[in-house]
Amino acid sequence: MNFDWAFFWTNLLTPNKDFVAGLWVTIAISIVAMVLALVLGVLIALLLRSGNIVLKTIGNLYIWVIRGTPLLVQLVIVYSGLAAAGIFRFSDIHAGPFTIQAVIQAAIVTLTIHEAAYIAEIVRSGISSVDSGQFEASEVLALKPHQTMLTIVLPQAVRTMVPPLGNIFNQLMKETSVLSIIGVSEMFLVAQGFSASTFRTFEIFLVAAIYYLALTTIWTLIQGLIENRLDRYMGLDSQQGVLSRTLELLIPSKRARRPGLVTPLPAPADAKTGV
C-alpha cells in the first residue's frame, strides 16, 4: 500500500472537527488530572513524612500498590470493576449545557490516582533536599509544622521538583491514549476510527504522533519559562534560554549544574520519574 501524501497533509494541516475535539479532550483531561494529582500527591508525601506509623504505612502502601500495577489495569478496575462489584458506577453529570461523560470522569479519577503516587515521591524527595537546619530554625521561631512546610520548606523545594513534575505531565499527556480502552473520545481513539474507515493506518497515526509531539514540545517550552522564572526569583545567575533548552532535547550537552541548586537526597529510583 502506497503512502498517501495528500491524505497525510490534509489531515495534518486541516484536521476535521472530530480530531480537533479529540485533541481538546486530551488536553483538558491532562490538565485536570495533573492538578488533582498534584494535590493528592502532596497529601501522600506529607503522610510519608508523618510521625504517625499508621499514616506513614498508608502512604507507603498506596505508592506500593499504584506504582506496582499498570495504568491500564487500574483504568479497567475503576471504570468497570467497581461497577461490576456493585461498589460505584460512574454516570454522566449534566451542568447546564455541559455534560461530563462517565468515561471522562473515570479517566480523570484513574489518572489522578496513578500520577499522585509518582508525584508523592517527587515531593518527598524535594522536601528532603531542604537542609535540616531550616526545620530547626522554624522551631526556634515557634512556627507550627504546617507554617514551616508552607512558608519555608516548600518554596525552597519547589525548584528541584519542577523538572520531574514537568516530566510527569509530559508522560500524562501521552498516557491519555490508554483511555481509548474505555471509550474516551480522545485523540488516539479518534485516530483509530479514521484508520478503520479509511484504511490509511500509517498516515493517520503519523498525524496523531506529530500532534502528541507538538503537545509535549509546547509543554517543554512552558516548563523552561517556569524554571527560568524560578531561577530569577531565587537569584540564580546561570540560566538557560528556553530555545536552547528545547534544542538540548535533540542535542544533549554537558551543561554544568547550576550553582545554588541543592541536590536532592537519594530516593527510590523509578524509570518514569527518575526519582
Q: What is the CATH number that goes with domain 5-250?
A: 1.10.3720.10
- The three grid cell numbers given for residue 43, joined into one nine-digit string: 497529601
- The tens-digit pLDDT sequence of the chain (275 residues) is 688 999 999 999 999 999 999 999 999 999 999 999 999 999 999 899 888 899 999 999 999 999 999 999 999 999 999 999 999 999 999 888 888 999 999 999 999 999 999 999 999 888 887 777 776 777 777 777 777 777 777 777 888 899 999 999 999 999 999 999 999 989 999 999 999 998 999 999 999 999 999 999 999 999 988 888 887 776 665 555 555 655 665 666 555 444 444 444 444 456 566 65
What is the reported pLDDT for 269?
52
In the numeric block, the cell 499527556 is attached to 173
Q: What's the pLDDT at 252?
A: 61
pTM, to two decimals? 0.82
What is the distance between the alpha carbons of residues 194 and 155, in angstroms, rounded to a whole number?
A: 47
Specify the 3-state DSSP secondary structure of 94: strand
Angle, vertex CA 265, rays to CA 262 and CA 270, nearest 5: 115
Q: How far apart are CA 72 and CA 255, in angstroms?
A: 37
pLDDT number for residue 58 = 95
pLDDT of residue 262: 43
Q: Phi and psi dihedrals of 129, rounded to 5?
A: -75, -15
Supply the pLDDT for residue 128: 83
How do the domains of the chain map onto residue ranges?
Answer: 5-250
Residue 20: the pLDDT is 95
